[in-house]
């Protein structure tokens, strides 16, 4: 069972929901923090990191002795990572999306495997939970390959909970595609609703069943609930705007640590997801 | 000598466009005869990324030796530099005025990009 915890808007409580659900379920759970631009699940789970793996991606490296400046590589590159001027090929590594098209069309075999570092994947354990997260290299713009690398860490667990990045662009798709269920976390405000709709559209396009957690549920207005009813999206959990919860968060504590009765609520949340995912 | 100038229109009386990669037109002007060709750059205007690189490649293929423009980013500068094209930035006024100013001098060539890359 793979559950991606996503949102349209940032700061709605994805990490809060993902870490509390993972912790409440305990053994057999793997938490993958795929918000690689700003991973923060480790602040709440305090994992012991055992393995650190550097992740690189292919970029073309030109062998000037073999290159005839025929321009085929530059012509096929839709990201313009290659340009031919003054009889030489220029490479712009940061624009490259690693498709390998340039290698395919080069008749001279002049394009060698170069590498650009994307970031690191760190893995370990947090109590009974298996934990991995990605850290995008500062200055790197392309996160999906690193997210896919984090997601490739697998085995020995029955439940995978993915903490996805916010938004609806490529990194989010990389973090939710192929999941059995997407749990959308939102807040009941016009801003929350606006971005939730965008997120739900993306999830529906991928054809993945989804449900809602409404965080800070006693603020704002009724818009999110009305939308959920209209779209037939189940509201699976509501977390109130509670000072005690906010204080726990501010010192890196889980809700279930300061209010143990929430462990049952998060286990219930998982049970409801399991039923919905199998429908 | 052929110079490339970023322009808002297709006439010598049109304004210089301060952007290089995403200028609507790039004029290739012969400084001796004032013969010119206005190249439609609309494909680059809407490019996802790499507009400056593409424009620089095109300017190089047209045989321009100097580029007169407003701003030139790092990737565009790297490309024109590799092509052996000199860059004069912060150019304003009409295309004709820019060419005249270049011809009468003094001319100060850029030693690097004067604009950050777009993300």
Query: Which residue in A123, A128, A118, A119 sits closest to A51, CA to CA?
Result: A123
Q: What is the pLDDT along chain A (279 residues), one digit of tens a residue?
A: 999 999 989 999 999 999 999 999 999 999 999 999 999 999 999 999 999 999 999 999 999 999 999 999 999 998 899 999 988 999 999 899 999 999 999 999 999 999 999 999 999 999 999 999 999 999 998 999 999 999 999 877 789 999 999 999 999 999 999 999 999 999 999 999 999 999 999 999 999 999 999 999 999 999 999 999 999 999 999 999 999 999 999 999 999 999 999 999 999 999 999 999 987
Which of A111-145 are b and which e, b meaning 16 or more Cβ less than 10 Å from the residue's Cβ?
A: beeeeeebbbbbbbebeebbbbbbbbbeebebbbb
**Secondary structure tally for chain B: helices H, strands E:** 4, 5
Q: What is the DSSP secondary structure assignment for residue B110, as one 8-state letter?
A: -
Residues of B in Cβ contact (< 8 Å) with A85: 56-57, 60, 79-80, 82-83
Query: Which residue in B90, B82, B84, B96 sits closest to B110, CA to CA?
Result: B90
CATH 2.60.40.2310 for the A64-109 domain, yes or no? no
List domains and CATH numbers for chain B.
2-104 (3.30.420.130)
- Min distance A91 CA to chain B CA atoms (Å): 10
Q: A2-55+120-277 in CATH: which number? A: 3.40.50.300
- Please give the Cα distance from A213 to A12 (Å, whole number): 10
Q: What ipTM was estimated for this complex?
A: 0.82
List every span in chain A annotated with CATH 3.30.70.20. 64-109
| A52 SS3 class | strand
The band of B116, judged by pLDDT with boundaries at 50, 70 and 90, is confident
What number is the average pLDDT over the span B56-68? 94
- Please give the Cα distance from A221 to A70 (Å, whole number): 62
- Min distance B95 CA to chain A CA atoms (Å): 25
Residues of B in Cβ contact (< 8 Å) with A88: 82
Interchain CB contact of B70 with A (< 8 Å): no
List every span in chain A annotated with CATH 3.40.50.300. 2-55+120-277
């Amino acid at each position: 069972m793979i559950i991606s915890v996503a949102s349209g808007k940032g700061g709605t409580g994805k990490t809060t929901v993902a870490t509390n659900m993972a912790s409440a379920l305990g053994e057999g759970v793997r938490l993958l923090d795929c918000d690689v631009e700003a991973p923060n699940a480790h602040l709440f789970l305090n994992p012991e990191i055992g393995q650190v793996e550097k992740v690189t991606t292919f970029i073309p490296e030109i062998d000037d002795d073999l290159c005839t400046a025929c321009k085929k590589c530059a012509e096929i590159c839709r990201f313009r990572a290659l340009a031919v001027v003054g009889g030489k090929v220029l490479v712009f590594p940061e624009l490259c999306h690693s498709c390998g098209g340039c290698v395919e069309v080069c008749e001279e075999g002049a394009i060698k495997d170069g590498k650009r570092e994307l970031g690191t994947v760190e893995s370990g354990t947090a109590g009974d939970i298996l934990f991995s997260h990605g850290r995008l290299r500062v200055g790197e713009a392309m996160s999906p390959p690193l997210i896919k690398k984090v997601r490739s860490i697998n085995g020995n667990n029955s439940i995978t909970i993915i903490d996805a990045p916010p938004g609806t662009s490529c990194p989010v798709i990389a973090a939710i595609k192929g999941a059995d269920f997407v749990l959308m976390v939102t807040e009941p405000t016009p801003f929350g609703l606006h971005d939730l709709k965008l997120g739900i559209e993306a999830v529906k396009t991928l054809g993945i069943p989804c449900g809602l957690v409404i965080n800070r549920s006693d603020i704002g207005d009724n818009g999110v609930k009305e939308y959920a009813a209209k779209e037939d999206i189940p509201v699976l959990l509501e977390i109130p705007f509670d000072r005690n919860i906010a204080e726990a968060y501010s010192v890196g504590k889980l809700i279930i640590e300061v209010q143990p009765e929430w462990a049952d609520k998060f286990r219930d949340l998982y049970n409801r997801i399991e039923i919905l995912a199998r429908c | 000598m052929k110079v490339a100038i970023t322009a808002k229109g297709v006439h010598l009386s049109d304004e210089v466009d301060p952007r290089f990669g995403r200028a609507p037109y790039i004029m290739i002007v012969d400084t001796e005869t004032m013969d010119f060709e206005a190249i439609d750059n609309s494909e680059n205007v809407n490019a996802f990324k790499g507009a400056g690189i593409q424009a620089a490649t095109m300017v190089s293929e047209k045989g321009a030796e100097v580029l007169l423009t407003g701003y030139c980013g790092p990737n565009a500068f790297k490309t024109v530099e590799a092509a052996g094209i000199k860059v004069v930035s912060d150019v304003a006024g009409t295309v004709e005025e820019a060419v005249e100013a270049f011809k009468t001098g003094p001319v100060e060539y850029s030693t690097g990009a004067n604009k950050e890359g777009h993300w």
